[in-house]
């Protein structure tokens, strides 16, 4: 990756410039850190093997652990997954954008590329993420900013100190956020199954499915 910018960018100061830099990094195989509607995340192109290896290496986690993907719309999502149920389709339209990640069956082409039967996706309720996703029109990796076994970092100064030399850019915001992971629901089978409860309670989310 030759597009090292060697600095952090406050998205509040120059929002469009930050989105443009993040877009360039995404398409050029970069790895960056960015704010979401939950916690800060490592980001990059999930279809770039070197990006996946780099994030896995930085985090020090087993490479069999898969990452959540942010997506800009359900229409774009349909390019990568098989949604054969109107019930699931309506459910996704109803709950997103929100900090709720949903595990779905990947279509054949995406299964071959990612080497997995399922993937976790969400449309985030975050202006920077949505603008970036609208630019790239592809899934974006989102995984917590931490070493394996350590707590996620959400303070920009601590993130820069810990990971500044290992990523291509760090995008941050001065605005206060609620640092809690997304709720993860498995919808790859007929009935929803809670994988992880986060910012939004499972009982509240599932009301939209019944």
Strand order of the β-sheet with 140-144 is 8-10, 169-172, 32-34, 41-43, 140-144, 68-70, 118-122, 100-105, 183-186, 193-196
Q: Domain 1-72+123-178 maps to which CATH number in 3.40.50.450, 2.160.10.10, 3.90.870.10, 3.10.20.30? A: 3.90.870.10
Q: Which of 125, 119, 180, 128 minimizes the C-alpha distance to 154?
A: 180
40, 116 in Cβ contact below 8 A?
no
Number of H helices and E strands in the chain, helices first, is 8, 10
State the CATH architecture for 73-119+180-210: Alpha-Beta Complex (3.90)
Structure pTM? 0.93
Q: Which of 132, 159, 185, 147 minimizes the C-alpha distance to 19?
A: 132
Longest dimension (CA), the chain: 49
- pLDDT (tens, 9 = 90+) of the chain, 210 residues, equals 333 445 899 999 999 999 999 999 999 999 999 999 999 999 999 999 999 999 999 999 776 568 999 999 999 999 999 998 899 999 999 999 999 999 999 999 999 988 899 999 999 999 999 999 999 999 999 999 999 889 999 999 999 999 999 999 999 998 866 678 899 999 998 789 999 999 889 999 888 887
1-72+123-178 shares its CATH topology with 73-119+180-210: yes
DSSP states along 56-91: HHHHT--TTS--EEE-S-HHHHTTTB----HHHHHH
Hey, which bits of the chain come out as E strands? 8-10, 32-34, 41-43, 68-70, 100-105, 118-122, 140-144, 169-172, 183-186, 193-196
Domain boundaries, the chain: 1-72+123-178, 73-119+180-210
Residue 60 main-chain phi, psi, to 5 deg? 70, 35
Helix (H, G, I), strand (E, B), or coil: what is residue 121?
strand
Determine which helix (DSSP H) or strand (DSSP E) holds 188, and give its type and residue range: none
């Amino acid at each position: 990756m030759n597009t090292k910018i060697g600095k952090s960018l406050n998205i509040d100061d120059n929002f469009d410039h930050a989105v443009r830099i993040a877009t360039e990094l995404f398409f050029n195989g970069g790895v960056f850190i960015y704010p979401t509607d939950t916690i800060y995340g490592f980001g990059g192109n999930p279809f770039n093997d070197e990006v996946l290896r780099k994030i896995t290496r930085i985090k020090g986690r087993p490479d069999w652990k898969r990452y959540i993907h942010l997506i800009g719309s359900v229409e774009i999502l349909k390019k990568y997954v098989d949604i054969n149920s109107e019930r699931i389709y309506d459910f996704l339209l109803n709950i997103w954008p929100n900090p709720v990640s949903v595990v779905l069956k990947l279509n054949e082409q995406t299964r071959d590329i990612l080497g997995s039967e399922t993937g976790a996706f969400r449309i985030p309720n975050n202006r920077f993420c949505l603008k970036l996703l609208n630019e790239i029109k592809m899934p974006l990796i989102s995984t917590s900013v931490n070493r394996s076994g350590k707590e996620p970092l959400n303070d920009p100064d601590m993130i820069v100190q810990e990971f500044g030399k290992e990523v291509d850019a760090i995008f941050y915001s001065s605005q206060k956020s609620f640092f809690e992971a997304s709720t993860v629901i498995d919808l790859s089978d007929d009935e929803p199954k809670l994988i992880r409860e986060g910012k939004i309670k499972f009982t509240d989310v599932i009301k939209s499915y019944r």
